[in-house]
Amino acid sequence: MVRNGVVLNMRSLSNSAGNAGSNNVVVSPDRTFADVSGGALWIEVLNETLKLGVAPVTWTDLLYLTVGGALSNAGIGGQTFRFGPQIANVHELDVVTGKGEIVTCSANKSSELFYAVLGGLGQFGVITRARIALAPAPQRVKWMRLLYSDFTTFSNDQEKIIANYSQPDSVDYLEGQVLLDNGTPNMWETSFFPTEVVPTITSLVKEKGVVYALEVAIYYNSTNEEIKDQQMKQLIRQLNNERGLAAMKDVTYYKFLDRIPCPVPRSRSRTRG
């Protein structure tokens, strides 16, 4: 946002603004892509595509953002190290330009506009439709957090995981965070851990001033759970986190992606694009 700039309520572009609905998300017959309104929320995309067993491959942490708004800002999350940001997984766009023209663009058609608008912060046009790549959706997620008191050890482990991104046994999601000594021991990072471990974490944060967290996830289905279990165990053996300060949850794919609640009531949500 800049001085004298314009902020758009992207939800006004939605066919069913304020309500999740299939009007905003149309999946192709072969389920390889979805045509999505620029005013649709990513949670709506997830809801509609999962009905058919598919989903986009990369996400932002918060799903209560509009598709047009996120694509105007790149769309970065824990899957980016493997699949790129959301803007790297778009086949085609409909854009309203500054001249009021409606242009359909892609890598092969009006490509200059296509690449300018993706991550262009709304300076080159407004995204009204996006054709988003889809892939088969996993059923469940093994979701883990590991804590570190030393930044070099933390960053080395993170880089070790990233370097393996192209291998079949790569993790599917990776992010790093920091825990600061800010007087709030029940922060979301520590609440992930068993209650009996929280005092140890709180003491470590107070002692060090800052503690680092790796958040890792591996996706799986009922057919490959045993293989993914072994993959997670092997990964843990290779990492150098603080011993005893690792915790894992097993959740549905939907619950993992929708782990951060909508910041305002759904009926009143507004997304700036």
DSSP 84: -
**Residues in the chain, pLDDT under 70:** 1, 14-23, 183-190, 264-273
- Both 94 and 193 in a single domain? no
CA distance 196 to 239: 23
pLDDT given at position 174: 97
Q: Is residue 189 in a domain? A: yes
- Both 122 and 146 in a single domain? no
- Both 17 and 91 in a single domain? yes
pLDDT given at position 189: 60
**Which of these three, 89, 116, 136, is where a domain ends?**
136
pLDDT given at position 269: 41
Q: Is residue 264 in a domain? A: no
Q: Of 177, 77, 71, which is closest to residue 127 (Cα–Cα)?
A: 71
- Both 157 and 216 in a single domain? yes
Q: Is residue 2 in a domain? A: no
CA angle 260, 34, 61 (to 5 degrees): 15
Q: How many domains, in total, are found in the chain? A: 2
Q: Is residue 263 in a domain? A: no
Return the CATH number at 189: 3.40.462.10
CA dihedral 231, 232, 235, 236 (to 10 degrees): -150
**Which of these three, 104, 136, 168, is where a domain ends?**
136
Domain that holds residue 51: 10-136
**Which of these three, 74, 108, 136, is where a domain ends?**
136
pLDDT given at position 38: 94
- Both 126 and 200 in a single domain? no
- Both 127 and 144 in a single domain? no
In this prediction the pTM is 0.86
CA distance 93 to 256: 28
- Both 67 and 126 in a single domain? yes
Q: Reduced to 3 states, what is the DSSP secondary structure of residue 35?
A: strand
Q: Is residue 5 in a domain? A: no
pLDDT given at position 18: 44
- Both 68 and 161 in a single domain? no
